[in-house]
Structure 1
């Protein structure tokens, strides 16, 4: 087959096999099936154990061989299912072991796949292990190009680590996000860091006659923006990760680990003190004059504007994705035209307002609490590559209407009032104008998010985001309570874009 490729590797010892398993774990996606072939003692279980431990983020995790149970399951970052089919009596028995569900819901590692060869997927990745004369082993990998490209990318990550002074680093899967970015926790002796893989994005087809959505909405296409914006923020005294190593051309960064302590508790509820501290940080940030550009050898970066075109492109996500989800069909052209007209009218009142660095996604997943620090340094920032130059009200709305957390109305109001109190002595700051901009940006952001979360489900096969829709809809109802948003409120209610309006 033209789209089938192979790779051969020499693994001189068990440590190399374990590192290879970590590299494989970094490349896996939900639905992948790895067929591990080789004689007894060839290293299949060693490799499977390393993959599972990397996915679990636990180098000491007990991973027994499923020789007698035939299958063991693990609730890791990606659900993992470890099969050993050596004792399988009949090929069809594999279905009694839940193979169909496992191979669609998680990652399957299958030792002795030839015992159920008729039921192995044609697009699976085959890894054949054989002994080498030096006491190590050879690994031959074969699979479809898309899967092999992922594996090659994981091996490029390994080379980046080695070239950055992190040779033989242990890798543990950390997380991904709604984008194509990938994160890992890496360790060498007593050092640890966060590996960021941010491959260059190829924008989808044009949204209009000349530009894509990514162009219009100013979505970062590579990790240069993360580096440049981070340097601007660091220069202004904000707490961002130090960069230990970078390869901007290939999209790799090695960052300081700011920890895992966020601004929500173990049950996912907001910690009021930390949300208020984050509002304090924004008030301090917005009281300063910031450069809009970062220039150094080989890099010149300017923060793009959150202009009318970008705002409207984001708002169209609600019409393009959420309206069809609600109604079962595409939005009528009349609805779109009225929606645009009302939004253009509403935006006319804020474009001359205060502008500053707009972090864009300033909410709980992207804020790491630094308990040992003081003041603004307690608020660690980790996701700012899509930062823009825009209304100061936007980031406060992003925080107080946290898309991932139920922020009750009284806490949201406390966050707003805390911010206003901290800004009252800022020259030219006008509180009532800020309140209106805050409500409007909350409405704009949450309208966009409704569309994005539906798109993640419909287009990208990520249904988990749908559970957030009731919260986002509730935030929209709250934002629409502002007295100067009456026309938009009537539109959202009349077109049933929100529920349970009294």
Structure 2
């Protein structure tokens, strides 16, 4: 809730920006997986957002400082993120632009992701991919790894603990009660991480670039939830959007959007398309494992049942990717996914 300290900080930030001081009642907004608090309020003719750090997480203040620093950096470099009007260092409150309530996912629910009625969504996907290519490449100038509250780089340790390890613990063991997992599973996870580490990783990674973190405001795509940005490979964010279980894009649609992204990326950097596509397969597997671990954890441990409905589609996507020729290197993972899909039919 907004405490007296928060209200004092808001008043100071509003005054510094020349906003009217008569703040109307603040309405708390629902978040997705985040424990941060979001309050919408009006001052004069302006609708603004106050973002408070998580009180239940020990690094809540560090996350808030990252959101402020990275958000300002992105905005300065022309990335379509919300404008940040001020930051209260003493309590972690961020005052920023209100982008409304419409997510790209909302439009997909309304019009669908495929077919004749999906033309509007197609245009927004193109906007998002062009913005992603710009973010990943052009914001490297001046980006400070010390801003990153979690880890400064997407690396092997993160893959093994927070993605493949997350999948094993949160989905297989805790959510589905699977035991006696194949002995070769950890070796396959290590191989996957080593292969993913071969991708150039001196780009800027959003880390959760999907349809619920893309707002539609006045006909433009705007990017939110960027506080986890760090250095990393290009393909991960692309995979986040294209295999996004909220959207359920068909493989042909994913392929078409992949081609659009590569065209956009080639306007920023020299690009070996063949190498990118080869490495993209492994980034997709990594992201898929992370999604399944996160959705299982949020459903079971945080009581956020919204995510439960997307576990089955995400498992189906992982199974389909393992059916590709490169999937022959992951027989243990494939066996686990087959068993998980059977169990999921009974619990999801």
Gap change, CA 1:420 and 1:497, over 3 Å in 2: farther
Tell me what 2:171 maps to: 322
- Where do 1:41-60 residues align within 5 Å? none
Task: Please tell me whether residue 175 in structure 1 is matched to residue 35 in structure 2.
Answer: no
Q: Aligned partners of 1:392, 1:478: CA distance in 2, in Å? A: 22
- Where do 1:154-169 residues align within 5 Å? 154-165=3-14, 166-169=21-24
Q: 1:184 aligns with which of 29, 36, 39?
A: 39
Q: Aligned partners of 2:290, 2:61: CA distance in 1, in Å? A: 17
Task: Please tell me whether residue 280 in structure 1 is matched to residue 130 in structure 2.
Answer: yes
Q: Aligned partners of 1:484, 1:266: CA distance in 2, in Å? A: 31
Secondary structure of 1:293's aligned partner = coil
Shift of 1:274: 1.0
Q: 1:348 aligns with which of 186, 191, 194?
A: 194
Given that 1:436 and 1:482 are in contact with CA atoms closer than 8 Å, whether structure 2 keeps it comes out as: no
Deviations 1:300-352 (A, max 9, x none): 625701011011111211111211256534x43x63x5222112223333424
Q: Aligned partners of 1:437, 1:494: CA distance in 2, in Å? A: 23
Given that 1:243 and 1:253 are in contact with CA atoms closer than 8 Å, whether structure 2 keeps it comes out as: yes
Q: Which has the higher strand share?
A: 1
Tell me what 1:389 maps to: 231
Tell me what 2:306 maps to: 464
Given that 1:287 and 1:426 are in contact with CA atoms closer than 8 Å, whether structure 2 keeps it comes out as: yes
Gap change, CA 1:459 and 1:343, over 3 Å in 2: same
Gap change, CA 1:497 and 1:248, over 3 Å in 2: farther
Given that 2:103 and 2:211 are in contact with CA atoms closer than 8 Å, whether structure 1 keeps it comes out as: yes
Secondary structure of 2:197's aligned partner = coil
Given that 1:200 and 1:221 are in contact with CA atoms closer than 8 Å, whether structure 2 keeps it comes out as: no
Tell me what 1:239 maps to: 80
Shift of 1:427: 4.9
Q: Aligned partners of 2:24, 2:35: CA distance in 1, in Å? A: 23
Tell me what 2:116 maps to: none
Deviations 1:273-305 (A, max 9, x none): 21122122223344536136349xxxx625701
Q: Which has the higher helix share?
A: 2
Gap change, CA 1:390 and 1:253, over 3 Å in 2: same
Deviations 1:359-410 (A, max 9, x none): 01111111123445xxxxx331111001111111011111111132222222
- Where do 1:67-106 residues align within 5 Å? none
Q: Aligned partners of 2:139, 2:86: CA distance in 1, in Å? A: 29
Secondary structure of 1:267's aligned partner = helix
Tell me what 1:439 maps to: 281
Q: Aligned partners of 1:161, 1:393: CA distance in 2, in Å? A: 39
Q: Aligned partners of 1:309, 1:247: CA distance in 2, in Å? A: 33
Q: 5+ residue gaps in structure 1?
A: 1-26, 28-152, 204-213, 373-377
Given that 1:424 and 1:431 are in contact with CA atoms closer than 8 Å, whether structure 2 keeps it comes out as: no
Tell me what 1:226 maps to: 67
Q: Aligned partners of 2:169, 2:53: CA distance in 1, in Å? A: 27
The number of aligned residues is: 322
Q: Aligned partners of 2:33, 2:136: CA distance in 1, in Å? A: 28
Given that 1:199 and 1:251 are in contact with CA atoms closer than 8 Å, whether structure 2 keeps it comes out as: no
Q: Aligned partners of 1:497, 1:428: CA distance in 2, in Å? A: 42
What RMSD over aligned residues (CA atoms) do the two structures have, in Å?
Answer: 2.7
Q: 5+ residue gaps in structure 2?
A: 15-20, 114-120, 343-348
Tell which deviates more after alignment, 235-244 or 421-430.
421-430
Higher RCO (CA < 8 A, seq sep 6+): 2
Deviations 1:445-479 (A, max 9, x none): 22122122222222222222111111111221233
Shift of 1:437: 2.6
Given that 1:220 and 1:386 are in contact with CA atoms closer than 8 Å, whether structure 2 keeps it comes out as: no
